[in-house]
Structure 1
Amino acid sequence: MNSDQMKGKFKQLSGEIKRKWGQVTDDDLTQAQGSMEKLVGKIQERSGDRREAIEKWLKSQGMSE
């Protein structure tokens, strides 16, 4: 497992925490941002790509953080 994959795992965890916080505070924007962070983390873990490259690709597909 390379360092980008480890960072992906951490990104998933932080995204899930942010998503849950959005649920607790009834903040839809925070909840959506947490879900996007978790998605980026999952892709990063599986592919080993850099976070910036993944985010750039998602933005090119019409999905942005």
Structure 2
Amino acid sequence: MNWDTVEGNWKQFKGTVKARWGKLTDDELDVIAGKRMELSGRIQAAYGLTKEQAERQIERFEILHK
């Protein structure tokens, strides 16, 4: 899956992202608006992860939701 697809269809993916990263609030998801770097930063902050760990989680998410 191409991240542009996620960004372009953010409203459809938002629920899936919320299910995967439940600590993210609806307001945060609105701010993220499909931007990968914003999602990564919010995951890092919410879960205390490194940038690399957050990126690996996002990559797995992409693979699972092709």
Normalised TM-score (structure 2): 0.40
Structure of higher CA gyration radius: 1
Structure with the largest fraction of helix: 1
